[in-house]
Amino acid sequence: MPHQQSPGVRLAATATATPPYEADQRQAEDFFVQNFASRLSRFSIRLLRKFLAHPGIRQRCFALDHPDCLVAEAPDARIARFTRWALDLSEQAGREALDRCGLAPGEVSALVVNTCTGYLCPGLSSYLLERLNLPRTLRAYDLVGSGCGGAVPNFQAAQEHLLAQGAGATLCISVEICSATFHMEDDLSLLLSNALFADGAAAAVLWTRPRGLELVASSSLHAPEDREAIRYVHKNGQLHNQLSRDLPEIVKKTVAQAVHNLLEPQGLTVADVAHWALHGGGDKILAAVALELGLPSEKLLPTREILARYGNMSSPSVLFSLHEIMNNGLRPRDWVLLAAFGAGLSAHALLLRSG
C-alpha cells in the first residue's frame, strides 16, 4: 500500500558528484581485453564487446587513480578505495546541496546515507558528520541492502524524521562505488555489470520550509520471491553482482505496480505526470518499464541522457536524473515522479510537485 505523506516536507536542493577518472566504452573494451582476455572464453569476449558497443552508454566515471588497480586488487585495498572515494564524493555532493539552498551545516537535524557497494562500521555517516561539520547531536542513519533503489527509501526515512520532529532539515546522500565490486569471469552477470556500472554520489536537502518541490506521497513494493534476479552474492568473501536474464520482464511489472499504487490514491494517471526520473538500470530494462507504463519516449530523455553520460551508478542514478530535470526548469504545479528498483527485489516510487 502507498505511504501517504504530509505536504509539509519539501525538496530544497540536489547536487551530484562523480570521480575525475573518465573512460568511454571503447577505452573500457581495450582495457578489459588487454588485461582479462586470458581469463575469458572467446564467447565471453564477444559478449563483452557486444555489451560495450551498445549506444545507450557513451562513457563512465570510476573511483580510481588508474584502472590497473582492478587487475589484481586485494580485498583490503578495495575497501580502502571504497572508503576514500565514497567519503570524498559524498562530501562534495553534500556540501554543494547545502550551499545551493543556503543551509548552514548547523541547521541539519538528520543525515541519511545509503550505499550497497561497501561496508564500514561505523558507517559513512560518522565520517561525513565530521567532514561536513554537522551537529554532533543530529540523527544519523546508514541504510544498506536496497541496491539500486536505495535513494527513495533514503528520502522516505528523511521524511519520517522531519514529520516526527515537525521542523528541521535533513541531508540525504546516495553514494555507490560500483567499481569496488568489480570482478571479471566467464559469468554473464559480471560481463554485463562490467559494461554498465560506474561510480558516483548524489545529495539532497529535505526541509519543512515553504520552498522547493513538495513531497506528496511515496510507495514501495517488495517481491522477495524474485530476490535472486538482482542481488549481490558473496564469493570468497567478496561481493559479486548477480543479474537474471529475465530481469526486464520481472522489473517492469514490479515498478509499474509501485507507480500505479502511488498515483491511483491521488486520482492521477501516468499521463498526468510531466517529468519522470527513472533508474536507468540499462537500455532493455528502461524500455521494458516505459512500455509497461505507456510512457512516450520524450519522458525518458533525462534518464537516457544520464545513462549515456555516466552509465548505471546504482542508487545515485535516479537523483542524477532528478537533478537534470530540476536544472532544466519546472512549470508551476508540475508533477514529478521518481521510480527506482533494486535488490530485494524491490521497487520504490516518489511523487513530487513544483510550487
In order of 53, 113, 116, the CA distances from 139 in angstroms are 45, 11, 20
Domain boundaries, the chain: 10-207, 212-353
What local confidence, expressed as pLDDT, does residue 58 receive? 96
Query: What CATH class has 212-353?
Result: alpha beta
Q: Which CATH superfamily is domain 10-207 in?
A: Thiolase/Chalcone synthase (3.40.47.10)
How far is 170 from 49, CA to CA, in rounded Å?
A: 43
Is-above-0.75 flag for pTM? yes
For 107-132, the three-class secondary structure string (H helix, E strand, C coil) is HCCEEEEECCCCCCCCCHHHHHHHHC
User: Which residue numbers in the chain have pLDDT < 50?
Assistant: 1-7
Condensed to tens digits (0 to 9), the pLDDT of residues 204-231 reads 999 999 999 999 999 999 988 987 777 8
Condensed to tens digits (0 to 9), the pLDDT of residues 155-214 reads 999 999 999 998 999 999 999 999 999 999 999 999 999 999 999 999 999 999 999 999
| Cα angle: 278, vertex 279, 283; to 5 degrees | 95
Fold agreement (10-207, 212-353): yes
What local confidence, expressed as pLDDT, does residue 212 receive? 96
How far is 227 from 346, CA to CA, in rounded Å?
A: 8
How far is 59 from 270, CA to CA, in rounded Å?
A: 31
How far is 278 from 349, CA to CA, in rounded Å?
A: 9
What local confidence, expressed as pLDDT, does residue 43 receive? 96
Give SS3 for 91: helix
What local confidence, expressed as pLDDT, does residue 4 receive? 45
